[in-house]
Amino acid sequence: MTRVIQPALLFAALVLGLLAPGWLELFTIYEFTAYLIMAVLALSLAFVWGKGGIMCLGQAAFFGLGAYAWAVGAINFGPGLAALAISVAVPAAFAAVLGYFMFYGRINDIYIGVITLAVTLILFNLINSTSGPQYRIGSALLGGFNGMTGIPTLAWPNGMPLDPAEIFRLTVIVIVASIVAITLYLKTTPGKTAIAVRENEVRAELLGYNVAQSKLITFTLGGALAGLGGCLFANWGAFVSPTIFSLVQSAQIIIWVIVGGRGTLIGPILGCIALQWATTKLGTQQVVQVNLVLGLVLAFFVLVVPQGIVPMVTGLLRRNSRTGPKAEAEQNA
């Protein structure tokens, strides 16, 4: 049954996402595009942490690198496929190099969290200190703490840039395609190995699986997906600044994933959208501080619903289906 329901829901979400811009106001499209772009970032961490068991606290680093790589690529080579490829390749390569030293150096989970977070903050400081005309890549000025403005938007082959509705639809397609791709990947031997490594590294190794290599593949793929999200972000706002690498940004992603349910792919996406929407609404009032509320939400979920919303709901539904009238009738028979 699940085999039919899940693809059907995904297809329905795709159709709804493609049609939605026709009904929504421009501001709403713009607002929800931002939520969906962040959902790509949440999905990347759901894959790396939830499926691969790698506690990466620096997923924002790959997102930021993807955004900056798009900006530099689009300014130098035009807002086409070459810049798109660069915006995915740069964070993927960065993740591969960082991952190589971490995983082949046999660094354990806690330190991976610390290192990835530290690397993100180093990037924050590094990009912050690139003010001045000497900090340029080709004709792209990095802009230091002011960031990069006027970034060209992805264009069709005829040179027409994508409008906000098209960027919304593109983001929906990226999310659905990523969920399908990750689901299919997890059915392959490297995908199953990633999950096995999450469950028990020692057993995976004793069965002959190269644990370091498996983690490196997962980490790199997650970095590439986060980079793609960053590329969409730079396209959405035509602006990118060092705050993309900030501690707040890194912490938010973890909260989205924990609240949505880190063992699932859909949970972190829903958690991300719901929390961003709530954050925006809370931001319109002056009574409580938004980050304080987010902290309370995180504490509540860690203590009361540690598995997250989606696993909790699916668990309850499964239990109800077992104890429903049909099951009772079967038991009484």
Residues that bind other proteins (CB under 8 A): 189, 192-193, 195-196, 199-200, 202-211
Identity at 321, one-letter amino acid code: S
C-beta closer to other proteins: residue 22 or 208: 208
* Residue whose structure tokens are 């509320």: 293
| Of 290, 223, 231, residue with least CA distance to 72 | 231
Q: How far is the CB of 191 from other proteins (least distance, A)?
A: 11
Q: 253 Cβ partners below 8 Å, 6+ apart?
A: 41, 42, 45, 59, 60, 272
DSSP H helix total and E strand total for the chain: 14, 4
* Interacting residues of 128 by C-beta distance below 8 A, sequence separation 6+: 144, 145, 242
Structure tokens at 164: 């906000």
Q: How far is the CB of 4 from other proteins (least distance, A)?
A: 19
* Opening angle at CA 299, ends 40 and 41, nearest 5: 10
Residue closer to other proteins by CB (options 200, 321) is: 200
Nearer to other proteins, 9 or 207 (CB): 207
Task: Give least dist CB 104 to other proteins, A.
Answer: 11
Give least dist CB 128 to other proteins, A.
Answer: 41
Q: Which is nearer to other proteins, 42 or 196 (CB)?
A: 196
Rounded CA separation 327/296 (Å): 39
Whichever of 127 and 196 has its CB closer to other proteins, that residue is 196
Q: Tell the smallest beta-carbon distance from residue 224 to other proteins (Å).
A: 25
